[in-house]
Amino acid sequence: MTHNIDNIGTWSAEVDNSGKTPFIKVNGTFPTNGEKPVFHLRRNEPQGINNSELLLTLVFGNLADTSGAIDVTVAYSEFFMTTDKYKTVTIVDEDSRTIASINVLSRQYLNIGQWSAEIDNSGKTPLLFINGTFPTNGEKPMFHLRKNEPQGINSSELLLTLAFGTLATAHGKVNVTVGYSKLLVIVDEYRTVLIVDENNRKVASIVVAGQ
């Protein structure tokens, strides 16, 4: 969250890249004198000349008052194609008064559950072991990992799909464990492992240990 002494209230702008399509979330809390219209944020059309700035209007924003004693909360979200599309968000009222100017933060992707990727080089051929434990809501299909064909453009990254991985949820209460192993041509054949579900949502990104 970015605080600016010139902002009216407290505002944040964050990119969420944990799903298939990134989206930006803008949240704000600002003081008023107790008026109760339907405050909301809308996207300006046309946008400004700065392509990396998202310009929004706070509808009824003329009622935002730094001396107000009653807080109001608003939110806005928008899907887009690239995670670095916006660097800043500017919010104005209908009279073009600046309500807030915010730097966009990018939320780091977090694995769903605990995952590891390790190499066993004790035998004749190096062997990569991948293990994961992830939360679900208790469903019991045959969760398993399978290698994607074709692989991605990064030859040093092993791409796997977690079958029934759409059921993995960070808020689940029942843990499931899966494993996968692969013989390697050379010890450093893979540097990372990326695991996705059938909808291409990222489940885990793992750095290979033991090289």
Residue extents of the structural domains in the chain:
10-107, 114-207
Residue 114: what residue type?
Answer: Q
In whole angstroms, what is the distance from residue 190 CA to residue 208 CA? 7
pLDDT at 141: 96
pLDDT at 1: 38
Of 41, 45, 47, 51, nearest in space to 13 by CA: 41
- Sites in the chain below the pLDDT cut of 70: 1-5, 17-20, 81-84, 106-109, 210-211
Which CA distances in Å does 82 have to 6, 76, 103, 119, 192? Answer: 29, 18, 17, 34, 22
3 state DSSP class of 43: strand
Whole-prediction pTM: 0.52
Of 162, 159, 155, nearest in space to 206 by CA: 159
Strand order in the sheet with 114-120: 114-120, 127-136, 174-183
Cis peptide bond prior to 150, omega within 30° of 0? yes
pLDDT at 211: 59
pLDDT at 200: 86
Q: To 10 degrees, the CA torsion angle through 20, 192, 176, 15?
A: -30
pLDDT tens digits for range 111-133: 899 999 999 988 889 999 999 99
pLDDT tens digits for range 162-187: 999 999 998 899 999 999 999 999 98
Phi-psi region of 81 (alpha: psi -120 to 50; beta: other; left: phi over 0): alpha
